[in-house]
Amino acid sequence: LTIFIGLLAFCYFTKSLTGAYTKSTITQIERRFEIPSSTVGIIDGSFEMGNLLVITVVSYFGAKFHRPKIIGAGVLLMGVGTLLMALPQFIMMSSTCSSDNQRCLKGEAESSPTWVIVLFGNILRGIGEASIGPLGMSFIDDYARPENSAFYIGCLHTLGVIGPIFGYSLGSLCASLFVDIGLVNQGDVTITPQDSRWVGAWWLGYVVSGLLTLLAALPLWFLPRALPENPQTSKLDHPSSQHKHTLSITEIAKDFGPSLKRLLTNGIYLLYLVYSVLAFNAFTIVITYTPKYLEQQFGQSASKTNFLIGNITSIPSVALGMFLSGWIMKRFKLSLLGSTRLMFFSSVTSLVCTIPYFALSCENIDVAGVTVPYQGSIEVQDISRGLLTSCNTDCGCPDFQWDPVCGQNGVTYISPCHAGCNSTRGAEQNMTFHGCTCIQSWGLTSGNSSAVLGQCSRETSCTKMFYIYLALQSLAFSVIVDPALKSLSVGVFLLVSRVFGGIPAPICFGALIDSTCLKWGQKKCGGSGACRMYDIETFRYLFLGLISSLRTISYTLIGIFAVLIQFPTVAEKCKANHNSENKITNYKRKCKSKKQNNNSESTTTIQKTL
């Protein structure tokens, strides 16, 4: 049993590591495949899709077969799916020898959406993960002593929290490396990790985590079906015993309908279910798009944000919150009502901590023709028209180009051509552009009309706000607790929360993010690519406003839930008091009756004596 728990813990570690790494690569995948955020949301939600396809079948039928081998097969499928997610990079690397023009003439870039392979690989991960939780927990429950099973399960969940720390750290490392590592010299790359065109080695982490997952799967195939040293083993594996306790499909279906009806007509349970869906939507949006929000809002690199999320703020704070919630519940022996009150108090405290987020903002950088007009031109109304003005009309600059340079006037231009530059000096990252006529139009002399590669830096106060945001986020996450409400149906709860929370949230919010895009990129063979620049003010209000709204509604529902479940408690007390009063009344009646009998006997004795 110890070996099984150790292997299962390693499986929990690898699956949570891969899941966190996937969240950390959202921006990199978007830029690599030139796809919008809504499409990346589909890729992210595909894990839940694959999981829901088989979890019911695996949970029911898997318990009747060799559980360690079925878990091993699921983990093996997870490893294959993870490695498959890295495959598009090698396909794209093999085609780098062909010129872009030749590929476009063949229609390769548009007819071969390689991101679908990433989608399919994530679906396989979800299918494989379905066997780990239900079958692993049932195996421990069957063969562990009751007093030890809770400890073993706690160890598994602990490693499930540690995994994301390593996942985000791996994401930080890979994001700092250029995507074509091994083919391109890192020093020859002219853009930096802060650039909106930077694509890190997103595929490398999938190779590492995929190999670790395969390593975790193999030993499970060599474990026995049952543990003979446990006296329950013979009962569990005996064919007649299984036949006796196994219901037919007809019997299961006959009982399933009424049971589901009773569950769905339970008003208190439905209220908690709606709360869970709303809260899970907010959580999914936060965990999926926080790295992207920090990158866009505060101008930080993906490498830095992933490191801070995984090691400083979110994940350690969540672990602390889980520990505190467990300690408080054990220390004060909280009931269902007490657990609900603790959840409501901690949730409201967390919501209050997020209010200052709205004030922690940075302004859009000044981009000529996008966020600010060219000097002397009218206010920007249409970006496609606003990019061209008298200083660059004769340059023949393409509208779709995004190769930003920072002028000495502090304004970013989407390309040297749009800045009106006519000469260059230096090479690679040290390249500078001179004779930029659009910069001269701001009143600068010709000697000061130069530009350097990359967007202009944000103000210093923006970096300070970034760290304040992280500190508040750490505090908000640390007070979030979710005590287990065991009286509710966990199965339907997980199903509904995943279907209506885990799948639509990243897709729908991804589409909302796309609506804030100011400048879209273009694929090599034409067509809209990934967004190069967002309206960060609108992005901020959408991101924080939607999350705060979902949390406010959900926490209001949990407050109502706490009030409703209090009524049965009051009713039980009244019933207990009523029963006590009845007992006292009956006791008085017995005493009175006994006293009357004694008086009657005394009278009879006196009469006989006389």
What integer pLDDT is reported at residue 162 of this predicted model?
86
Same domain flag for 424 and 392: yes
pLDDT score of 63: 67
pLDDT at 610: 37
Stated as kind and residue range, the H or E segment containing 594 is helix 566-609
The 10s digit of each residue's pLDDT in 197-220 is 889 999 999 999 999 999 999 998
Q: Give how many domains the chain has, as a whole number.
A: 4
Closest CA to 45 of 523, 511, 536, 515: 511
503 CB-near residues (< 8 Å, 6+ apart): 45, 48, 49
Q: Which long-range contacts (CB under 8 A, 24 or more apart) does 322-328 make?
A: 322/157, 322/161, 322/481, 324/478, 324/481, 325/481, 325/482, 325/483, 328/481
155 with 192, same domain: the answer is yes
Q: What is the mean pLDDT of residues 352-367?
A: 86
- Same domain for 413 and 515? no
- Percent of the chain topping pLDDT 90: 24
> Is 596 in the same domain as 538?
no
Closest to 492 measured CA to CA, from 283, 277, 248: 277
Q: Is residue 335 part of a domain?
A: yes
How large is the average pLDDT for residues 183-194?
79
What is the reported pLDDT for 190? Answer: 78
As a whole number, mean pLDDT of residues 211-239 equals 71
Q: Identify the residue whose tokens are 């009357």.
A: 596
Residue 593 CB-density burial (10 A; 0-12 exposed, 13-18 middle, 19+ buried): exposed
Q: Among residues 413, 404, 518, 412, which one has the least CA distance to residue 456?
A: 412
- Confirm whether 402 is domain-assigned: yes
Strands (E) across 113-161 are located at: none
pLDDT of 428 above 90: no
Reference 358, options 171, 553, 549; nearest CA is 549
Residue 111 pLDDT > 60? no
Task: Mark whether 184 and 220 lie in a shared domain.
Answer: yes
Question: Which residues constitute the domain of residue 550?
Answer: 262-360+463-564
* Poorest-pLDDT segment among 54-63, 314-323, 583-592: 583-592
Q: Residue 215: its pLDDT value, please? A: 94
pLDDT tens-digit readout, 365-381: 888 888 888 764 444 44
188 with 297, same domain: the answer is no
What is the per-residue DSSP string for 481-550? -----TTS-HHHHHHHHIIIIITHHHHHHHHHHHTTEEEEEE-TTSSEEEEEEE-HHHHHHHHHHHHHHH
Q: How many residues does the chain have?
A: 610
Within this chain, do residues 75 and 2 fall inside the same structural domain, yes or no?
yes
Residue 172 has pLDDT above 50, yes or no: yes
Closest CA to 205 of 175, 181, 163: 175
pLDDT tens-digit map of 303-332: 999 998 888 777 777 777 777 776 777 777
* Residue at a domain's end among 421, 453, 485: 453
Residue 574, pLDDT > 70, answer: no
Which pLDDT belongs to residue 481? Answer: 47
Give pLDDT tens digits for 506-542.
Answer: 999 999 999 999 888 877 776 778 898 899 999 999 9
| H helix intervals, 176-313 | 202-217, 233-237, 239-245, 249-264, 267-298, 302-311
What mean pLDDT value characterizes the chain?
78
- The CA distance from 20 to 79, in Å, is 15
CATH label of the domain that carries residue 130: 1.20.1250.20
Within-domain flag for 376: no
Does 140 fall in a domain? yes
- Sign of the four-CA dihedral 104, 382, 435, 365: negative
Residue 102: its pLDDT value, please?
58
By percentage, how much of the chain surpasses pLDDT 70? 76
For residues 97 and 213, state if they share a domain.
yes
Residue 483 in contact with residue 334, Cβ under 8 Å?
Answer: yes
pLDDT of residue 239: 39
The two structure tokens encoding residue 512: 């909302």
> What is the spatial distance between Cα 197 and Cα 199, in angstroms, rounded to a whole number?
6
Structural contact between residues 170 and 176, judged by C-beta atoms closer than 8 angstroms: no
* Residue 394 placed within a domain: yes
Look at residue 449 and give its three-state secondary structure.
coil
Clarify whether residues 146 and 53 are in a common domain.
yes
Task: Considering only residues 596 and 293, tell me which one the structure prediction assigns the higher pLDDT.
Answer: 293
Q: Within a domain: residue 372?
A: no
590 alpha-carbon distance from chain centroid: 66
Among 228, 248, 281, residue at a domain's last position: 228
Average pLDDT over residues 480-506: 63
- Give mean pLDDT, residues 461-476: 81
- The mean per-residue pLDDT over the stretch 409-428 comes to 86
Residue 235 lies in a domain: no
Exposed, middle or buried by CB within 10 Å (0-12, 13-18, 19+), for 468? middle
Residues 6+ apart with CB under 8 A from 73: 128, 131, 217
Reply yes or no on whether the pLDDT at 498 is more than 70. Answer: yes
200 and 69 housed in the same domain: yes
Instruction: Classify residue 406 by its DSSP letter.
Output: E
Residue 238: band (very low, low, confident or very high) from pLDDT cuts 50, 70, 90: very low
Give residue 230's pLDDT: 52
pLDDT band, residue 23 (cuts 50/70/90)? very high
Strands, sheet with 412-413, edge to edge from the N-terminal-most edge strand: 412-413, 405-407, 451-453, 432-434, 423-425
Predicted structure pTM score: 0.80
The rounded distance, in Å, linking the Cα atoms of 153 and 2 is 12
**Across-strand partners of 451?**
407, 433
E strand or H helix at 433, and its extent? Answer: strand 432-434
Q: Which of 277-286, 317-326, 390-399 has the lowest mean pLDDT?
A: 317-326
pLDDT at 28: 92
Q: Is residue 484 domain-shared with residue 405, that is, in the same domain?
A: no
Answer yes or no: is pLDDT of 242 > 60.
no
Assigned domain for 333 exists:
yes
Q: Are residues 395 and 343 part of one domain? A: no
Question: Which whole-number Å values give the CA distances from 286 to 388, 543, 547, in the listed order?
Answer: 38, 8, 8
CA distance 49 to 126: 7
**Using CA of residue 586, residue 588, residue 592, residue 595, what is the dihedral sign?**
positive
Q: What is the pLDDT of residue 586?
A: 57
